[in-house]
Chain A
Amino acid sequence: MIHRRDGLAALFDAESPGVFGFLLLRCGSRALAEDLMAETFAQASGLFSKGRGHEVTASWLRTVARRRLIDHWRRQGTAREGLAKLAQATKPSPAPDTDPDGRVEMALNAMSDRQRAVLVLRYLDGFSTSEVAEAIGSSYKATESLLGRARAAFRASYEGATDG
């Protein structure tokens, strides 16, 4: 039996936690994050098969994962036109581990998918309100209002979890 761990398998073991965490925070579903991660690595395997495996980096994987997530949102109707533009964005997200007890994740899980999407796009991926509005196919004012409700919901959930 062969147990070679190099190549794509090694990449999977090294990078899958990062890709999985990236997707999980944004979609809130382990099953969905797992599916999207599989699609992401399947795309990476295409580069490996062409002898371009060296092009696959953590940043590349995040970019592809974001595209897959946006594709999912598009299919789900959470977001409409304009998401493709965000698919090209590669704004890095800092990852200091200051949420060890998962309260942020709990607060996000308490929000609706749409609220979660705009909050993450605005405050984690760093898009402007206009860009978020374009991303979800909504007007600026409606997005502003949605962001306001998302912030309130996040605060309430997070602070409730903290008080509890």
Chain B
Amino acid sequence: MDEQEIGELLASADRPRQLTSEERLRGLRRLTERTTVSSTLLVTDDSSDVEAVSSDAEAVVLNLELSPTRNENLRLRRWVWAVAAALIVVVGVGVLSLVSSDTQSIDIADRDNIEVVPEGAFTGPCSGEFQRLIDGIEQWGDLESWAFAGSAEPDVSQLLASTFDAMGEVGVISRDVSDASVRLEAQLAEVDDGELPLLFSESVGKERVVEASIRELMLILRSQPEASGCDLERLDNALSS
């Protein structure tokens, strides 16, 4: 058998192959699905036909050679969908911006709803530093992202220290540190290069998640030690101990 014969044999096998009825049905169905998704196909005027495609090999409902009238209808539909999509985008962006501003920047007015831990509530080894940290934060209403530390629980500093120690970058800040789910979420949270998911529990039954950067906060603290009044070195040591 020489090379020419091999070529002839291969060419002889290069012929149409009949699809099985299942293969044909799957092909039509996939074609229907794809074209429907891309809104290029008017499939049927009877919704039951869509289901019929999957069960009836003869239920071919494609119709792409649209009449002028249908073309007009299709064009109108596309306009309607385009307007609807634009509205959805506008509303979505608006909602997102509201949510974003709510979670990333909490102004003084918002903080009025936050019950600041009263002086002396901390009893842990770093209670003074945390209190001063809170006081410092209170002065920086223009921070876009910030962390708020506060808890009436005496073990908050220990909780923070152990969490930072265990996770390296994760902090949990919760007014309700007895809420096990808050701690669990903090432990499960993924950290992305310094971005800290800080879980803020405003009150029992109402939690808010505030994303902030503790690095940024610490940098600000370092740049304005007089404003915060914090002994950052001691705080660092406490957090890393």
Contact = CB atoms under 8 A, between A and B. Distances in A.
B60 A104 contact: no
Contact of B31 (A1, A3, A30, A41): A41
Interface of A: 1-9, 12-13, 16-18, 20-22, 24-25, 30, 34, 37-38, 41-42, 45-46, 48-49, 53, 93-99, 102, 104-105, 108, 119-120, 123-124, 151, 154-155, 158-159
Most buried by A among B8, B13, B63: B13
B134 to A, nearest CB: 56
A119 B6 CA distance: 9
A7 B27 contact: no
A64 B65 CA distance: 22
Contacts of A30: 23
Interface in B1-33: 1, 3, 6-19, 23-24, 26-28, 30-31
A98 B64 contact: no
Contact of A5 (B30, B35, B60): B60
A90 to B, nearest CB: 14
Interface residues of B, number: 42
Interface in B22-80: 23-24, 26-28, 30-31, 34-35, 38, 40-41, 44-46, 48-49, 52, 58-65
Contacts, number: 151
B58 to A, nearest CB: 7
A9 B44 CA distance: 13
A7 B62 CA distance: 7
B159 to A, nearest CB: 50
Give the 3 A-B CB pairs with smallest separation, nearest first: A49-B40, A17-B16, A7-B64
Contacts of B59: 1, 3
Contacts of A151: 3, 6
A49 B6 contact: no
B1 A155 contact: yes
A18 B19 CA distance: 10
